[in-house]
Amino acid sequence: MRIAYYNRLLNEPWGCGVHGRALVEAWRRAGHEVVCLPEALAEEGAIERQSRLNRFRWIPEWVRIPAMQIRGWTRLARSGWRTAEALRAFRPDVLVARRAAYDFLLDYVERRHDRPRLIAEVNALLYWEVRTVERQHVPQSEENREKRFLHGSDHCVAVSEATASQLAEIGIPADAVTVIPNGADVAEFGPGVEPDHLVAEWARGHSGVVVYCGTLAAHHDMPTMAGAFRSLARQPSLGFLFIGPTSEELAGVLGSRVLDDSRVWCTGRVPHAEVASLLACSTAAWIALANDGGSPLKVLEYMAMGLPVALAGERQARDLLEQAGGGLCVARQDAQGLAAAVSALLADQAAAAKMGAAGRAWVECNASWDGVAARMLECLNREGET
């Protein structure tokens, strides 16, 4: 099959880019021909050091929205014709597209009469996520553009049942939606990964190390993490590994004392290829989620590593962890419950090891990227038959 994959966030250093690059690589491993739009980003390998999603986040709203609109129109003027011609020349069987905010370029490509069948990859309804999770304004015109794109698609692949429900609320028929959650690279993430030498040396000085991997974005419930940290920090021999945040960023959430606490190791930004070797230095993993409607990439990577997981969250994250038997779950925003779950995992090593093994086995069977990519193609094939 010839697949054109449009994802303006393909070079994101975290979840958006990891997801997109994993799909492209899995499709190619399966023998499909794939071209990446609007440019051949995956082939370039130019992974961003900082998320593009964060670059306008702290600008005042009255400046931010016009700036993003101007950037969107500039991108269209610069790349619209070239992108449409690349699509025409490739002659794909299907266009799989993930829309970003103010993506006038994709709107232009989608409206062309010669485009192939369009599959919308919906990790979130952007206008809803920005308003409710990030607490920022979205112009009605941007909401309308996103809805037109979704209604104009031939099929939607939703990352969670919650997202599928939101699609139903805006009038997308149930038979035009397939739910396919995120995945994990079971070859890159696994119990046999060699630990990072320096972090492993530090970890040996602690009775156990609990790891958090991710940004400090609004999707992650950092107030709950902070409350759990204050409780767990009373255990003098417990180590805390944070993959992604800098010490200064973490101090803004957990308090300034983490800057001088030898029990806390912050890696700062690291390439995704190095994450597994850092996770391998840990005893257990924890995470608190503010957005219950997404598909938690990090939970899947934790389980792929064979780490038992403590989760404060609901819906898909909780469902998959309980289905896998890969850890302990507490309610969203339950800081004390999260701390207790971490302590329980560390106190009973035999039970924790059993959970870790169960989580790993579940991901291998149900959530490898190869499996996710294959399921998406099955969806495309079904759409082509109707």
CA Rg, the chain, in Å? 21
CATH number of the domain located at residue range(s) 2-183+369-385 in this protein: 3.40.50.2000
pTM of the prediction?
Answer: 0.86
The confidence score (pLDDT) of residue 76 equals: 92
State residue 10's pLDDT score. 86
197-366 shares the fold of 2-183+369-385:
yes
The pLDDT, as a whole number, for residue 254 is 84
In tens digits, the chain (386 residues) has pLDDT values of: 999 999 988 887 777 888 899 999 999 999 999 999 986 554 555 555 555 555 556 667 768 888 889 989 998 998 888 898 889 999 999 999 999 889 999 999 888 878 888 999 998 888 888 888 777 888 999 999 999 999 999 999 998 888 999 999 999 999 999 999 889 999 999 999 999 999 999 999 999 999 999 877 767 888 999 999 999 999 999 999 999 888 888 888 888 787 778 899 999 888 888 999 999 999 999 999 887 667 788 899 999 999 999 999 888 888 889 999 999 999 989 999 999 999 999 999 999 999 999 999 999 999 999 999 998 888 766 655 54
pLDDT of residue 44: 53
Query: Domains of the chain: which residue ranges?
Result: 2-183+369-385, 197-366
Q: Are strands 117-122 and 94-98 parallel, antiparallel or unpaired?
A: parallel
pLDDT for 296 equals: 80
Cis peptide before 38 (omega within 30 of 0): yes
Q: Specify the CATH number for 197-366; select among 3.10.20.30, 3.90.420.10, 1.10.357.10, 3.40.50.2000.
A: 3.40.50.2000
